[in-house]
């Protein structure tokens, strides 16, 4: 039985993440990331979220909309295993899934209404800007948090790299973070790059290439050095989605 025609987006997520490269691999890893879940018609009604403000966190069920055309495979190569070993798709959080559905826990900060639109202010998301949300559920601590659960290959949080800014990047950061459209910009950049978004086989290695991560409408250019990640430039976005390496 097909359920395709019975599922539609109830909302769309607006986030700083404009490309897949650089998005945290799990929710909650970059708490400085702020965004909004904007309800879509016919669900765009304040009654649909009545009482939601009593919860601190939400489950978002969403669609990996940019991966659907690429299909799925029975096995994948998880980044946690260096991209060299395979596990079954249902034993991983791979974005390439039979139905393209993902789930994330996010922190709820406020419920807003403006000009007839309802939106939820959230943080800690790991979602691409424009991600379709297919359902919203409250997070229930006593049942959803299992203290002694086994985490398999992802039992521990990732090891973070040290992130620094060169002189030019520091000056540019001061200019941009004073503007309201870039909330907690320094913390966001540090949180994203500390996880070293490069492919697993390149991590813990120095790399002569200049990489780019798109946050808001900015390109963040950086290098992977032996001592960590160095941000070398912040500039208005010039590179198309999906481009991780750039030439200066």
Residue 158 has pLDDT above 90, yes or no: no
Q: CATH 3.30.2310: which residues of the chain?
A: 163-246
Report the sign of the C-alpha dihedral through residues 234, 239, 242, 245, in that order.
negative
- Separation CA 169–CA 214 (nearest Å): 15
CA distance from start to end of the chain: 52
What percentage of the chain carries pLDDT values higher than 90? 71
Q: What is the mean pLDDT of the chain?
A: 90
Banded model confidence at residue 5, pLDDT cuts 50, 70, 90: low
Q: What is the pLDDT of residues 89-129, one digit of tens each?
A: 999 988 889 999 999 999 999 999 999 899 999 999 999 99
What per-residue confidence (pLDDT) applies to 71? 87
Residue 66 has pLDDT above 90, yes or no: no
Q: Please state which of the ranges 19-33, 74-88, 99-113, 135-149 shows the lowest mean pLDDT.
A: 74-88
Distance of CA 141 to the CA centre of its chain: 22
- Separation CA 171–CA 42 (nearest Å): 46
Residue 2 has pLDDT above 60, yes or no: no
Identify the CATH assignment for 4-144 out of 3.30.360.10, 3.100.10.10, 3.30.200.20, 2.40.30.70. Answer: 2.40.30.70
- Separation CA 221–CA 210 (nearest Å): 7
Note the pTM of the prediction, 2 decimals: 0.87
Q: Name the fold adopted by 163-246.
A: YaeB-like fold (3.30.2310)
Q: CATH 2.40.30.70: which residues of the chain?
A: 4-144
Q: What is the pLDDT of residues 185-240, one digit of tens each?
A: 999 999 999 999 987 777 766 778 999 999 999 999 999 998 899 999 999 987 55
Residue 1 has pLDDT above 50, yes or no: no
């Amino acid at each position: 039985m097909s359920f395709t025609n019975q599922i539609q987006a109830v909302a769309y997520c607006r986030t700083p993440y404009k490309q897949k490269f650089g998005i945290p691999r799990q929710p909650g890893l970059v708490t400085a990331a702020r965004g909004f879940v904007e309800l879509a018609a016919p669900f765009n009604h304040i009654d649909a979220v009545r009482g939601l403000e009593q919860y601190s966190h939400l489950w978002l069920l969403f669609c990996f909309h940019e991966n659907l055309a690429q299909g799925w495979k029975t096995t994948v190569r998880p980044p946690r295993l260096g991209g060299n070993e395979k596990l079954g798709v249902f034993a991983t959080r791979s974005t390439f899934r039979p139905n393209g559905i993902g789930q994330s826990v996010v922190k709820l900060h406020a419920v807003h209404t403006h000009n007839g639109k309802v939106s939820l202010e959230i943080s800690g998301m790991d979602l691409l800007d424009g991600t379709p949300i297919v359902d919203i559920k409250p997070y229930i601590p006593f049942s959803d948090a299992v203290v002694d659960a086994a985490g398999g290959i992802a039992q521990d949080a990732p090891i973070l790299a040290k992130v620094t800014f060169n002189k030019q990047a520091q000056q540019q950061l001061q200019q941009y973070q004073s503007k309201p459209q870039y909330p907690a910009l320094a913390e966001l950049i540090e949180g994203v790059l500390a996880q070293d978004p490069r492919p697993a086989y390149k991590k813990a290695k120095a790399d002569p290439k200049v990489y780019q991560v798109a946050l808001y409408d900015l390109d963040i250019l950086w290098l992977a050095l032996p001592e960590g990640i160095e941000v070398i430039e912040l500039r208005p976005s010039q590179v198309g989605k999906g481009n991780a390496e750039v030439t200066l």
